[in-house]
Structure 1
Amino acid sequence: MFRRIRAGDWIVVVLLLLPVLVAWPRWWPRPGAGAAEVLSALGHLAGVLGLSALLVGAMLSVRLPGLDRWFGGLPRIWTLHRILGFAAFILIMLHVVWLAFGALPISPEAAIQVIFPPLEHGAVWIGWGALALMLIFLAPTFQFFGRPHYQRWKRLHLLSVPAFLLAFAHAVMLVEHVLLWWGLAALAVAAVFWRKVLSPRLGRHDYTVDAVTALASNVVEITLAPRGRAMSHAAGQFMYLTPHDPGLEAGRGEEHPYTISSAPGEDVVRVGIKALGDASRALQTVTPGTAVQIEGPYGQFFERCEPQRRQLWFGGGIGITPFVSGARALQREPGGGPDVTLIYLANRPDRAYYMDELREIAQGHPHFDAQIHYFQDRGPVDEAFIRAHCPDLAEREIYICGPPGMVYHLMGLLSRAGVPRGRIHTEAFDFL
């Protein structure tokens, strides 16, 4: 995921290090300084960098369509956001510990006074409040107590707002260069304000459920018709869907990411949805005619390649949907596009949701071939099966979307087959 440095990465690095570069001259240890002074300096700088990481992480929550391309996709932004949150927590813990050890040579009492001063030293206790809130909302994110429920995690994550406000207040009460911190905080607040307040009103498109088509047990394709401003998308992108059907047993008013299965340029938007949780299970029976909102599009699944290099697609489970979108896009341009081979990995025939349509598209398109592999009959797909249908696999741009076990198996198989890692692309949706 981080094989290539993106433009967004440089923005993150600059925003992270700018406060450190400004603050460093003040805290630089004097020549010949002892361990206590060095630890104290490191403690202050860890606090500066920790707050920077917290504020930049908040900025990355903005989730603007198109901005994700600067970072290589929304999943990659989420990974950066999570890394920054964890780094902020560790750095702020080091900030406390190093400051205490820096005062320890004076006396144990002095060390305790640094981190637990009298109550009138409000700035320090505000900092403790920020750290406590960080511990509460970060613990589920790092799955200290198992994988959390998605919506409970989202509500608990709202504690990040008072946490970084308290951390900011702690900083501006104790440091110089307050204008710099105000600028960073303003960017963070603007990102959160857009995400939580403005985006639900201004960043979503109004649609109506036009049809619900059963594809298999617990799998449907929902067709959505625009009620105003339509959303355009490219093949392989995904969106957030918020249903407002009052009859839903779960998920009403909740946003969840789903890959778009319709071709670019269609008058409607289609999504394939498998019952994997309470919300997606409820959507199996969403009522036609009810209102939904969609937000996006996000992702660049099919853009990370040499445009005319031949491609090999592996789709499994509901991970077939970006390839259905890609195949439908090819169908709308007979004779166009790169040479593509799709290998559909399914457990058994009744779980090959779109196979009949994909075969029909392949019959009418000279550069598209669709093959099926059934786990029930053959076990895990092997190199011999792949080479039988795609002898030049090592020369192709390869795309994989499906269950984690399938992705892991294919990554190892393709690596052993001599496929360069830079030509293998996967998509992931985890707490987006």
Structure 2
Amino acid sequence: MTSLVLPDSRDLAAPAASRRRALAPTPRWWRDASAVFAWGVTLFVVALWVAGGGLTAFGSLGEGVTNIGRLTGLVASVLMLLQVLLMARIPMVEQAWGQDELARVHRLVGFTSFNLMAAHIVLITVGYSAGTDLGILATFVDQVLHSPGMLLALAGTIALVMVVVTSVKKARARLRYESWHLLHLYAYLGAGLALPHQLWTGQDFKTNTTATVFWWGLYAFALVAVLVYRVGLPIVRSARHRLVVSTVVAESPTVTSVVVRGRRLDRLPVRAGQFFQWRFLDGAGWTRGNPYSLSAAPDGRTLRITAEAVGGSSERLARLRPGTRVMVEGPYGRLHTGVRTSDKTVLIAGGIGITPLRAILEELPAAPDGVVVIYRVGRQSDIVLADELLALARAKGGRVVAVVGHRNRERDSWLPVEVAHLGDAEALRRIVPDIAERDVYVCGNPAWMDAVITAAREAGVPAGAVHHERFTY
């Protein structure tokens, strides 16, 4: 069987015959249904604006500007609520999209909503000022001070500005994950503070019973979704399963595994490769949730995570003591065997990204040449969980190929500099000649993942057969 020959690279396991078993994929129509819902409510908002005279209220320049301002405000409001629903962890939506795709759409919807909100403020102020002698600035101040709910709306806008500013990539790069996550919660505050202004003074919120029921219902739906899935469900699951730290294992000087035990974990709807938001109740910092994937397939008795020390929270894992109570939020993500489209699989990991793929390897059915694991590391000493990977690959009838070497700085590539003469897609085909007929799972550094995904697509892998999860914020 062909494999990529590199300095310090080697096949780590040989095939062994075993049975194969098909797994049902996660229903794709869930994604279509959620998209139809989002577009439906947005178009319904525009229809309400039209029904309220939106196409006819252009008697003067001021009226026309104000009318367009109404529309931008309405669409901004509904997009803000959809943004909340996107990240409310509704199981159907989360399983249909996956967290990285949800985060991408959430970001797009969020910036669009904010821009429309800014346009709404400017247009409404300009439109109102056209009928007075106050001027634009004085009109804005007058509206804030004298219109019902406007002071609250201003406070909500300031909260949303803070969220948007800290969501810009350069700003995010300067923030710890925990700090960014805490600041991002102000989006809920911003949405909540805007509600009184809209319901008290918004013409389109009070024009008819249909509009009133729609807007109250949508706000209530968003609130209930957040309370149920972001607050209630995690508390209930953590209390029901009574999770505590069982053992802490140093896999290397910088990598730690934590095994958690609990009650009736066989009833926890989790699959290998998914992740939880973990909170370890061992003192200061317990409120900070951090996303860690399972590094072993759930067995109904324990859950295991494996993480590299790259910050305060991950370094803290090595100091956990057995018996420490644990709260979890999840499981989340589509990086699991339920999304497979074929019987054969390729697992491609970079660095610590091997951990969810190791769990997936354990859950895959055994089959001759059914799975190939490609493990990219900078040095041989960076390989973690090697013995487990070898044993699992042999048991599954697959093999592991370690691709070792320094990063290629001359081009964006998933390969090391030692094989810069090879194309990215060519290298994949050398290791796995039939890669176009397999599912490909990818996990690692985001930029490296992009290079792998591009290479897999160039090698003929269908878009629906490439599965990945990005753990960036």
Q: TM-score range by the shorter chain?
A: 0.7 to 0.9
Does 1:18 find its partner at 2:44? yes
Q: Which runs of 5+ in 1 are unaligned?
A: none
Distance in 1, matches of 2:232 and 2:450, equals 39
TM-score (structure 2 length as normaliser)? 0.80
1:163 maps to 190
Are positions 1:413 and 2:455 aligned together? yes
1:239–1:298 contact (8 Å) kept in structure 2: yes
TM-aligned CA distance change 1:360 to 1:192, over 3 Å: closer
Q: Work out whether residues 50 and 92 of structure 1, in 8 Å CA contact, stay in contact via their aligned partners in 2.
A: yes
Q: 1:55-106: CA deviations, max 9, x gaps?
A: 2222333224454123x11232333333332222111111122224445655
Q: 2:393 is matched with which residue: 352, 356, 362?
A: 362
CA distance in 1, matches of 2:212, 2:71: 15
Report the equivalent of 1:86.
Answer: 111
Q: Which moved more, 1:232-241 or 1:163-172?
A: 232-241
Distance 1:299 1:220 in 2: 22
Deviation at 1:427, TM superposition (A): 1.0
Helix, strand or coil at the partner of 1:90: helix
Higher RCO, 1 vs 2 (CA within 8 Å, ≥6 residues apart): 2
Instruction: Quickly say closer, same or farther: Cα 1:294–1:131, change in 2 above 3 A.
Output: closer
Deviation at 1:51, TM superposition (A): 1.1
Task: Note the C-alpha offset of 1:160.
Answer: 2.5
> Following TM superposition, by how much is the alpha carbon of 1:33 offset from its aligned partner in structure 2, in angstroms?
5.5
CA shift in 2, pair 1:202/1:128, >3 Å: same
Structure 1 stretches of 4+ moved >6 Å: none
Going from structure 1 to structure 2, the CA distance change for 1:16 and 1:195 (only over 3 Å counts) comes to same
TM-score (norm 1): 0.87
2:248 matched to which residue of 1? 212
Tell me whether 1:237 sits opposite 2:274 in the alignment. yes
Aligned positions of 1:32-111 closer than 5 A: 36-70=62-96, 72-103=97-128, 106=131, 109=134, 111=136
Q: Give the partner amino acid of 2:141.
A: F
Could you give the per-residue CA deviations for residues 227-273 of structure 1, whole angstroms, max 9, x where no partner exists? 45552422221112211124xxx643422111112224353111111
Distance verdict in 2 for CA 1:279–1:414, change over 3 Å: same
Give distance in 2, aligned partners of 1:17 and 1:152: 36
Distance in structure 1 (CA, Å) of the matches to 2:213 and 2:135: 31
**1:141-175 CA distance string (max 9 Å, x none):** 23463432222223323333332122111111122
Change in 2 beyond 3 A, CA 1:226/1:65: farther
* Secondary structure at the counterpart of residue 425 of structure 1: strand
Task: Provide, for residues 18-38 of structure 1, a one-character-per-residue CA deviation record: whole Å limited to 9, x for no partner.
Answer: 333222222423398565544
Partner of 1:344: 375
2:9 alignment counterpart: none
Relative to 1, partners in 2 of residues 1:22 and 1:245: Cα closer, same or farther, differing over 3 Å? Answer: same
- Alignment deviations for residues 376-425 of structure 1 (CA, whole Å, 9 cap, x no partner): 49825744543332112233221110112321322333344344444322
Is 2:191 the partner of 1:149?
no
Letter in 2 for 1:224: V
The equivalent residue for 1:329 is: 363
Amino acid at match of 2:472: D
Partner of 2:146: helix, strand, or coil?
A: coil
- Aligned with residue 303 of structure 1, among 322, 328, 338: 338
Q: Aligned partners of 2:107 and 2:429: how far apart in 1?
A: 39
Distance in 2, matches of 1:14 and 1:387, equals 43
Does the alignment pair 1:316 with 2:316?
Answer: no
Tell me if 1:134 matches 2:168.
no
- Aligned mates of 1:12, 1:122 — CA distance in 2: 30
CA distance in 1, matches of 2:119, 2:40: 22
What SS does the aligned partner of 2:338 have? coil
What is the aligned partner in structure 2 of residue 7 from structure 1? 33
Q: Following the alignment from structure 2 to structure 1, what is the Cα–Cα distance between the partners of residues 91 and 285?
A: 23
The 3 A distance-change label for structure 1 pair 54 and 35 is same
Please say if residues 123 and 169 of structure 1, whose CA atoms lie closer than 8 Å, have aligned partners that are also in contact.
Answer: yes
Show the 5 A alignment for 1:261-300.
261-300=295-334
| Deviation, structure 1 residue 42 | 1.4
Does the 8 Å contact 2:277/2:292 carry over to 1?
yes
The separation in 2 between residues aligned to 1:47 and 1:75, in whole angstroms, is 28
1:375 to 377, 383, 405: 405
Per the TM alignment, residue 371 of structure 1 is displaced from its structure 2 partner at its CA by 1.1
SS of structure 2 residue aligned to 1:6: helix
Structure 2, unpaired ranges of 5+: 1-27, 408-414
